[in-house]
C-alpha cells in the first residue's frame, strides 16, 4: 500500500469536537446501511439530525469531559423496539472500525474502551436477569 493510501485510511484526526462530529456522521452512515442494525435504528428514529446532535454531545462528554450530554441512555434504549443482545457486538465492531479509520491507534483504542464499558452496562440494564447466567449462553 502506498503512503498516500495509508494516510487516507488513517487521517490521524486530533480529538476535537469537529472530529467527533465526523466520527458520529460516518458511524451512523454505516449503521443505517447495516442489514442487522439499520432497520432497528430507522424504525426508532424519524428525524436523524437531532439524534446525530445528541450523539455528538454524548461522545464529547465521554471523550472530552465537556458535560454537554444530559440524558438517560438506559431509558432511551428500553424504548427501542427490536433491540437484541447480539446486536451490541455488531454495533461495537462498526464503531471501532470507524474510529480506526479516523484516529490514531491510541485515540481509537480509548474510544473502544469507553464504548465497550458503556455497551456492557447497557446490556446488563436491558438483559440481565438474576436467575440466569451472565453473559447468556451463546454470547
Ligand atoms: C444494539 C446496539 C444499539 C442499538 C440498536 C441502539 C439504538 C439506539 C436508538 C434507536 C436510539 C434512539 C432512541 C430514541 O431517540 O428514541 C439510541 C440512542 C442512543 N444510543 Fe444507542 N443503540 C445501541 C447501542 C449503543 C451503545 C453501545 C451506545 C454507547 C456506547 C449507545 C449510545 C446511545 C446514546 C447516548 C443515545 C441517546 C440517548 C438519549 O436520547 O439521550 N447506543 N440508540
Whether the CB of 112 sits within 6 Å of ligand 1: no
DSSP letter at 72 equals -
pLDDT digits (tens, 9 = 90+) for 42-82: 999 999 999 999 999 999 999 999 999 999 999 999 999 99
Q: Ligand 1 centre from 73 Cα, in Å?
A: 6
Residue 68: other Cβ atoms inside 10 A:
15
Please, which pLDDT band fits residue 10 given cuts at 50, 70 and 90? low
Question: Would you state the cell numbers that stand for residue 138, as one nine-digit string?
Answer: 451463546
Whether the CB of 118 sits within 6 Å of ligand 1: yes
CA pseudo-torsion sign 66, 38, 108, 136: positive
pLDDT at 7: 45
pLDDT at 121: 97
Has residue 34 got a pLDDT over 60? Answer: yes
Whether the CB of 119 sits within 6 Å of ligand 1: yes
- Burial grade of 111 (CB within 10 A; 0-12, 13-18, 19 or more): buried
pLDDT digits (tens, 9 = 90+) for 89-113: 999 999 999 999 999 999 999 999 9
Amino acid at each position: 500500500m502506498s503512503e498516500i493510501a495509508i494516510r487516507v485510511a488513517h487521517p490521524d484526526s486530533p480529538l476535537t469536537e469537529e472530529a467527533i462530529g465526523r466520527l458520529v456522521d460516518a458511524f451512523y452512515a454505516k449503521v443505517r446501511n447495516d442489514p442487522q442494525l439499520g432497520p432497528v435504528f430507522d424504525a426508532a428514529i424519524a428525524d436523524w439530525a437531532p439524534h446525530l446532535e445528541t450523539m455528538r454531545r454524548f461522545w464529547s462528554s465521554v471523550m472530552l469531559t465537556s458535560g454537554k450530554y444530559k440524558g438517560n441512555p438506559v431509558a432511551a434504549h428500553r424504548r427501542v423496539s427490536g433491540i437484541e443482545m447480539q446486536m451490541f457486538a455488531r454495533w461495537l465492531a462498526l464503531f471501532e472500525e470507524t474510529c480506526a479509520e479516523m484516529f490514531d491507534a491510541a485515540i481509537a483504542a480509548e474510544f473502544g474502551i469507553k464504548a465497550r464499558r458503556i455497551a456492557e452496562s447497557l446490556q446488563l440494564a436491558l438483559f440481565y436477569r438474576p436467575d440466569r447466567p451472565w453473559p447468556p449462553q451463546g454470547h
